[in-house]
Structure 1
Amino acid sequence: MIEQIEGGGFSQLKHVIKAIGHNRDVDIEFATVLAPLPNIRIKIDNMPVELDADDVVVCEHLRDHMREVTINGGEVVEMTVMSPLMAGDRVAVAMYADNQGYLVLDRI
């Protein structure tokens, strides 16, 4: 199951940093998306195992999410922003907690 962290990108990042604390043992690695959300699977370069949705946290801007928008100054409407992640995409992943926690930061 993908961990759902409430709020915008900044508050989500703040939550993750607070959860892991000041930690010099955070590594940023590249990975390939093998299967898209909601059952995401990724393969981190130079790691022999695949990670699935239970193993990773995916930032909000990479998941399906709702936004309120106006078009040409019209009324405010709700819009669903679909996840941009597809199989074959390359992503940046933060590995923390002695490489037991994985945060998909962005598509690269």
Structure 2
Amino acid sequence: MVPQTHQSLRNAVADLQDKYRDILRLEQSVAELHQMFVELAFLVDQQGELLDQIQYNVTNAKDYTAQAEKELLQARKNQQSAKKRMCWLSVCILVLVIIILVPVILNIVK
């Protein structure tokens, strides 16, 4: 009976040691899982900041585009105005040249 009890105790100790090793492996797995969640949280935080920067840049690009559109409209108006002024200036210079050249030509012809 003693050898059988002794064997039962050895089996019980072996079972306890197996359970203890399983618990240690489980503890290690939980620690690894915790580390993975910490790293995942860090990555999510970084990506959140990146998304915020992208959104900020898109908003700025929209504002700059709107401002550029206004400036282009003003540039077109200025260009048209400059063309009109050049035409008037050309006409005035042509009239002035004609006024100056007509008497000179008439004096030469006489």
Q: Shorter-chain TM-score: which interval?
A: under 0.3
Higher relative contact order (CA 8 A, sep 6+): 1
More strand by share: 1
Structure number with greater Rg is: 2
What is the TM-score normalised by the length of structure 1?
0.14
What is the TM-score normalised by the length of structure 2?
0.14
